[in-house]
Amino acid sequence: MSDASAANTATAPTHPGLFISFEGIDGVGKTTQVNRLREYFREKGCSVTETFEPGGTQLGAAIRHLLLSNAEDSAQVSPRAEALLYAADRAEHVHDVIAPALERGQVVITDRYLDSSIAYQAGGRELSESEIEELSMWATGHMLPDRTYLLDMDPRVSHERLTGEPDRLESEPDSFQNRTRQGFLARAAADPRRFCVIDAAQDVDAVWEQIRTDVDSLLESRHLGGREQSSTPSETSSGAQRK
């Protein structure tokens, strides 16, 4: 597992913004860290769009409901249809929310992005990684994050942290979550310049400290550190609700 503070700098951006994704299996604490990072950027005067998948657009909210409700019919979604629905959600998300915000020069923070599809639909569901990746790259016009924070944890521990009714994927057995975890780790190993892997079993403050240290070096390398921006920080872009 790589150390956050030793993370590499990101690849050259094709837009004036900064695109950050958070990934990991269910229950690793992504939402808490996304919130901290949003506030951190805002304190620095950066304009931030915070968003999530699935469901970060109006169409996406309908797709999210189809995918994650525990109703009998949604439990029957076939693996290819499931992969296509996540890809459709992502295509709309990039088109309506992510790309416009990056073009405006904003920081975009998304709770899940295409690595989730590769880890869950390929790692977990036994479709091939290359076909899921091709689908997602096509759906997004090859839009990759500048940095991806992978919060990594043993599924037996993360499951204990989940509260509320589990959704359809959270109800999957640990063997599924384990394959998904390995899928994420394999993605990170294949692209260490983009990924920063963090041990999410540490306490929340220790996880945040690693993210903050890495973000500072990322901002330094992008010359964004402390930059005052004229636009008002936006609220969660889509206004969509997760549940």
* Burial profile 223-238: b = 16 or more Cβ within 10 angstroms, e = fewer: ebeeeebeeebeebbb
Distance CA 226, CA 221 (A): 12
195 φ, ψ to 5°?
-90, 145
In the complex, least distance from residue 90 CB atom to ligand TYD, rounded to whole angstroms: 7
Cβ atoms of residues 38 and 50 within 8 Å: yes
| CA-to-CA separations, 147 to 108, 161, 191, in angstroms, rounded | 11, 26, 10
Instruction: Considering the complex, state which of residue 96 and residue 167 has its C-beta at the smaller distance from ligand TYD.
Output: 167
Cβ atoms of residues 215 and 107 within 8 Å: no
Instruction: Considering the complex, state which of residue 46 and residue 54 has its C-beta at the smaller distance from ligand TYD.
Output: 54
Instruction: Considering the complex, state which of residue 111 and residue 214 has its C-beta at the smaller distance from ligand TYD.
Output: 111
In the complex, least distance from residue 125 CB atom to ligand TYD, rounded to whole angstroms: 8
In the complex, least distance from residue 207 CB atom to ligand TYD, rounded to whole angstroms: 16
* Chain contacts with ligand TYD (rule: CB under 6 A): 26, 53-54, 68, 86, 111-112, 116-117, 120-121, 167, 169-170, 242
**Residue 156: which residues within 8 A CB-CB, separation 6 or more?**
174
In the complex, least distance from residue 152 CB atom to ligand TYD, rounded to whole angstroms: 15
Cβ atoms of residues 83 and 117 within 8 Å: yes
Instruction: Considering the complex, state which of residue 41 and residue 86 has its C-beta at the smaller distance from ligand TYD.
Output: 86
Cβ atoms of residues 56 and 238 within 8 Å: yes
In the complex, least distance from residue 26 CB atom to ligand TYD, rounded to whole angstroms: 5
Instruction: Considering the complex, state which of residue 26 and residue 146 has its C-beta at the smaller distance from ligand TYD.
Output: 26
Residue 107 DSSP label: E
Instruction: Considering the complex, state which of residue 51 and residue 121 has its C-beta at the smaller distance from ligand TYD.
Output: 121
- The one-letter amino acid code at 92 reads E
In the complex, least distance from residue 109 CB atom to ligand TYD, rounded to whole angstroms: 13
